[in-house]
Amino acid sequence: ALLANHETAVLAMESVSYDDITAQAAIDFCLKDAVIVRSQVYALLKQMVQNAVVNDGTGETAEEANIRVIQAFFDGLGIKYHTAARPGREHRQNLVATYGSGAPRVMLGPGHVDVAPVSDEAGWTCPPFSAEISGGYVYGRGTLGMLGMVATQAVVFARVVQSRVPVIGTLVFCAVSDQENGSRDGVGYLLEDDRLRPFFSADIALGKMGGARLGAARDTSTAVCMAAADKGAMWVRIVCSGHEGHGSIPLGGDNALTLACKAAARINDYWAPTVITPEWVAYCENLELTWWRRSTLLSERWCAGAIYKLRRKNPKLAGIAHAMTRLTMSANHLHGTQKMTAVPGRAVIDVDCRLLPGQDADYALTHLKAAMGKSLVNHPGVSIEVMHVRAGSRSHVGSAAWNAVALAASQVLPGSEPIPVMMTGFTDLSSYREQGTDALGAFLFDPSETFQDIMGRYHGKNERISLRSLWCGTQFYALAVKALLEDPDA
């Protein structure tokens, strides 16, 4: 039935060559009938993308639509699962399924099923909620963030259960809501509730996102980026107040928009101090750079100037370097003004601050105020409110999870070696790390996909994931499960 429903897509998928990225170990473990496995992954991904579960920040996003897709898939295979939602928020469902028992609990996830908004559909190669296949890619919002990974994880979990693989411990599949807006109704709720925490907990978690080859790497580099750390997030609202007036007599009012624009410009122009993190060192050491450029990018004194110069030659790398080496602050949302003919008496800007592990709200607020300047901070019409804070986090490189990820990656793409990188946006793995979970952002993309390419498309126009990457990722998760849970004596 699955093949019949997606016959055209299957033909498109199987016109792609997979021979050079197929690991026999994954096939033997639980992925027999590779054509059907790939069809299952695409069928799940297509349905979830087409549901357009956009998290607009209002709290009304109905992630239950995508949770139902997973439920229907599991129901068809006789796989049991549990769902949970915050009371009064039943449209924001979360799902967990388990196989085996005892420790360790190894989670495929948490994978979020909500997606970021699309501000402009013009210019997309394929409609953003179509999941159309074109040129070997599946196009659509959420294909990278992170419905493609959820689909591969769900299929791998189902295959392990169907194959009755003997395991030592518990394999957990977890799909959650609300990650795109702070996770209050997703992981935040599941881990704060004493009754639910045991069901949704894990000793090891493989979530969002890693697995792309390092772009512009040295010829000798076999580096594949895996996310061992997340930046934290602090969302700040700056309210600027003035006096309303008619636009034809601007001096008759006190324009709040003027204050807001000054604050936004100063914040976006500000560079916080450089911090050379272990992840940035590993990243730089595998890039094809001159000795001088590498030295300056790894120097707290010279890094900012080196990034500024790099913007002309390699803007993608410059953006990653900037985000990985400092607190960033971006004024992204202006609202409160009402009409063209009125001088606004109120204007509000929302600022997205991203904190390195170890940085806290006080640190971020100090630099936010330094960016705005005393004239704005002390202005009677300006107020600053912290809306949300989430700390950054880091996992240990060399752990059992890291070693399993390294083995799985090398089996699918021989010779590849993971290096730790930092996700510049927060993920739900930070909440799991706070619980003591060994959590890694782990996936595996086709070797033609670079980390810079992936991050450039993430939440962007023409967001897409390649069919080859979906197959690489599916095998990778299967082999990671094998490395962590397979009973060697069975």
Token pair of 71 as six digits: 């439920």
The rounded distance, in Å, linking the Cα atoms of 221 and 49 is 35
Beta bridge partners of 330: 352
Kind of pairing between the strands at 105-112 and 204-207: parallel
CB 429 within 8 Å of CB 230: yes
For the question of whether the overall pTM of this predicted structure is more than 0.85, the answer is: yes
Token pair of 24 as six digits: 């026999």
Kind of pairing between the strands at 223-230 and 417-423: parallel
Q: How far is CA 446 from CA 116, 177, 259, 320, 322, in A?
A: 24, 28, 47, 21, 26
CB 63 within 8 Å of CB 452: no
C-alpha dihedral sign at 302, 303, 305, 306 = positive
List the one residue out of 47, 87, 173 whose CA is nearest residue 481: 173
List the one residue out of 68, 128, 127 whose CA is nearest residue 92: 68
Q: How far is CA 340 from CA 241, 334, 336, 350, 364, in A?
A: 17, 15, 12, 21, 34
CB 405 within 8 Å of CB 226: yes
Q: For residue 85, which amino acid is it?
A: A
Q: pLDDT truncated to tens, each residue of the chain (490 aa)?
A: 555 555 667 777 888 899 999 999 999 999 999 999 999 999 999 999 999 999 998 899 999 999 999 999 999 999 999 999 999 999 999 999 999 999 999 999 999 999 999 988 888 999 999 999 999 999 999 999 899 999 999 999 999 999 999 999 999 999 999 999 889 999 999 999 999 999 999 999 999 888 998 766 555 557 899 999 999 999 999 999 988 877 787 776 688 999 999 999 999 999 999 999 999 999 998 888 899 999 999 999 999 999 999 998 888 889 989 999 999 999 999 988 778 888 888 999 999 999 999 999 999 999 999 999 999 999 999 999 999 898 899 998 999 999 999 999 999 999 898 999 998 888 899 999 999 999 999 999 998 888 878 888 888 899 999 999 999 999 999 999 999 999 887 7
Token pair of 89 as six digits: 């928020």
CB 297 within 8 Å of CB 274: no
CB 440 within 8 Å of CB 401: yes
The rounded distance, in Å, linking the Cα atoms of 329 and 355 is 9
First to last CA, the chain: 34
Token pair of 21 as six digits: 């990225």
Q: What is the DSSP letter of 486?
A: B
